[in-house]
Amino acid sequence: MKISDIFERTERTFSFEFFPPKDEISAIDFGVNVGQLMKLSPSFVSVTYGAGGSNSERMFALVDYLQNKTGLTVMAHYTCVGASKSRVLEDIKYLKSKNIDNLMLLRGDPPKGTVDFVPHPDGFYHASELIEKVATEFKNTFTVGAGCYPEKHPEAETFEQDIMYLKEKTDAGVDFLITQLFFDNDIYFNFVKMLRKAGIYCRVIPGIIPITSYSQIDRFSRLSGTKIPDTLMDKLESAKDNPKRIIRTGIDYAIEQCKSLLAGGAPGIHFYTLNKQSAIVEIFEALK
């Protein structure tokens, strides 16, 4: 099913993001966790694409399985890192042949150890080019999602420029946006206001992750430049040596964060699950 059809029927969606398991044990773990999450009847699930297409075979196999064996509505992430235009078109055709109706189209990050994004000599430089190509070649075959950054994409010089390029991206054929993770809801609501002013009117679904370990704090800040509000940071600092308290703090914060996002008019929540179910199940249940 196309996610745009789900949008016709409901004002809010609740979705889960997974990554393809790396080995057999992770695959068993994945089955156990996803089994629990499926019981929550998510509006859709999405599967990430490994940096540089590193896991593309496992990713294609997983979206095929989820789409054709579980009854879930699936969105396949796809990045153009290291891929020629013809390879991209082949991959998208393959996903179509597996009944995938929804794509999250992204540029992707520069490979590990490099700083600047260098496109394939016959590839796409920006997500907007990839999105435009897919829109032209496949017309209305897919509902297309794209990423957006309430705290600015790390490479963008200014917020204004980032939003200008985001407008180009949405105009190229994007049906909805999912945000990078963030912890401060004011940042999200201000961002949405800025997008509306810039003429971007599609759904902007907040991407949320509960903090479940102290080491994640540094990782999230480094990866996405997200700010952790002082109130949350103080609580995490005071629970630093107590892993259970960190989990409790992270889950409680995420519950309040999601409640306030929904109360403020956010069109649902996209959960970055990291393939774990327990925190997500608890948050999800609390939102009911």
Ligand X SMILES: Cc1cc2nc3c(=O)[nH]c(=O)nc-3n(C[C@H](O)[C@H](O)[C@H](O)COP(=O)(O)OP(=O)(O)OC[C@H]3O[C@@H](n4cnc5c(N)ncnc54)[C@H](O)[C@@H]3O)c2cc1C
One residue of 37, 62, 73, 107 binding ligand X per CB under 6 A: 107
**Which of the stretches 107-115, 182-190, 252-260, 279-287 binds ligand X when contact is defined by CB under 6 A?**
107-115
Alpha carbon of 121 to those of 80, 84, 107, 118: distances in Å? 12, 7, 15, 9
**Which of the stretches 61-69, 136-144, 147-155, 250-258 binds ligand X when contact is defined by CB under 6 A?**
147-155
Helix axes of 243-263 and 278-287: crossing angle, nearest 10 degrees: 40
- Which residue's CB is nearer to ligand X, number 127 or number 144? 127
Query: Does residue 108 interact with ligand X by CB under 6 A?
Result: yes
Closest approach of ligand X to the CB of residue 18, in Å: 10
Closest approach of ligand X to the CB of residue 204, in Å: 11
Beta-carbon count within 10 A of 204 CB: 20
Query: Does residue 77 interact with ligand X by CB under 6 A?
Result: yes
Letters for 15-54 (x = contact with ligand X by CB under 6 A, - = none) are ---------------------------------xx-x---
Cβ contacts of 170 within 8 Å, gap of 6 or more: 146, 177, 200, 202
Which two tokens mark 84?
A: 């020629």
Closest approach of ligand X to the CB of residue 243, in Å: 28
Query: Does residue 178 interact with ligand X by CB under 6 A?
Result: yes
Closest approach of ligand X to the CB of residue 239, in Å: 28
CA distance 46 to 29: 17
- Which residue's CB is nearer to ligand X, number 169 or number 203? 169
Catalytic position from the list 8, 11, 17, 285? 17
One residue of 56, 73, 79, 249 binding ligand X per CB under 6 A: 79
CA distance 60 to 81: 16
Query: Does residue 174 interact with ligand X by CB under 6 A?
Result: no
Closest approach of ligand X to the CB of residue 23, in Å: 19
Instruction: Tell me if residue 129 is catalytic.
Output: no
One residue of 38, 40, 89, 156 binding ligand X per CB under 6 A: 156
Positions that interact with ligand X (CB under 6 A): 48-49, 51, 77, 79, 104, 106-109, 126-128, 147, 153, 155-156, 162, 165, 168-169, 178, 180, 207
Residues belonging to the active site: 17
